[in-house]
Amino acid sequence: MILSDAEHQNVADAIRRAETSTSGEILCVLSEADSYYPQVALAWAAAIALLVPYLLWLTGIDIGMMMPPGWQPGHWEDATTIAYHRFGLGYTVLPIALFILTYAVTLVPPVSRFLTPRRIRRQHVHRSALEQFRARGLRRTARRTGVLIFVSLSDRQAEVIADEGIYTRVPPEAWADAVATIVAGIKRNEIATGLVEAVERVGTLLATHFPPSAENPNELPDKVVEL
């Protein structure tokens, strides 16, 4: 478990308190799964495989001399031919080796996150949040007022996704404070505290635009779902 039982209870209580003053429904999803960016790894591997041999050539380093000795000229070969063979083999083997090594290293999650542009990581988190929004049934609320607070611990990012009924009155940028609160909590290693504060901010915003209805049913579970 990512959160302790007590922390789960604290977040659940915060959700219940927030929903008493609004007809909106709040659900939290917390993901600890490592994020992989194979397309970024491929780009880095290709760049390193192409650039390093070229830079070595510019600096005057003979890549052919990196190949193991032992080539002996035959009766039709001379030293110049052997040198060309070594040079060609060096420019074949070195890029392949660099590509494989770089690709393997850049797939390691911490390295991958460091080398992946923030914009690409944000797009990944957004897609993951949308998938959870659909999978958790937030579109099945009566007034389309479901709100998902999605947190990716591996990417240290968060996303707030609201249903159509809320987006008509609350623009996406209105959730920025809640997202910043979660990210700050992750950095302090106080995930539950950040979630509780984010739920309170989301609840305050919902209460302003979506006061509770006469019945105000509880349509979504008041809890944190861990992935």
Domain boundaries, the chain: 5-35+118-226, 38-114
DSSP designation for 35: P
**Strand order through the sheet with 146-152:** 157-162, 146-152, 25-31, 224-226
| Distance, first Cα to last Cα, the chain | 9
Give the residue, 149 or 164, on which the prediction is more confident: 149
Residue 160 is predicted with a pLDDT of: 92
Could you tell me which CATH number the domain at 5-35+118-226 has?
3.10.310.50
Cβ neighbours for 179, distance < 8 A, ≥ 6 positions apart: 158, 159, 160, 198
What's the rounded Cα separation, in Å, for the pair 147 and 15?
Answer: 11
- Return the amino acid letter for 98: L
Residue 96 is predicted with a pLDDT of: 87
What's the rounded Cα separation, in Å, for the pair 126 and 66?
Answer: 46
Instruction: Give the model's confidence band at 16: pLDDT under 50 very low, under 70 low, under 90 confident, else very high.
Output: very high
Residue 76 is predicted with a pLDDT of: 45
Give the residue, 30 or 143, on which the prediction is more confident: 30
Which of 212, 225, 215 lies closest to 17 in space, CA to CA?
Answer: 212
* Pairing of β 157-162 and β 25-31: unpaired
Residue 199 is predicted with a pLDDT of: 93
Q: How high does pLDDT run on average in the chain?
A: 82
Residue 73 is predicted with a pLDDT of: 46
User: What average pLDDT score do residues 44-73 get?
Assistant: 71
User: What average pLDDT score do residues 178-189 get?
Assistant: 91
**37's tokens:** 């960016």
User: What average pLDDT score do residues 86-92 get?
Assistant: 61
Q: Is the pLDDT of residue 138 over 90?
A: no
Give the residue, 115 or 92, on which the prediction is more confident: 115
Give me the percent of the chain exceeding a pLDDT of 90. Answer: 26
How deeply is 68 buried, as exposed, middle or buried, from its count of CB atoms within 10 A (0-12, 13-18, 19+)?
exposed
Q: Exposure string (b/e) for 122-146, b if CB count within 10 Å is 16 or more?
A: eebbeebbeebbeebebeebeebbb
Whose structure tokens read 């984010």?
Answer: 198
**190's tokens:** 């106080």
Q: Is the pLDDT of residue 8 over 60?
A: yes
Q: Is the pLDDT of residue 75 over 50?
A: no
* Pairing of β 146-152 and β 157-162: antiparallel
For the stretch 199-221, pLDDT in tens is 999 999 988 888 887 777 778 88
Q: Is the pLDDT of residue 70 over 80?
A: no
pTM of the entire predicted model = 0.74
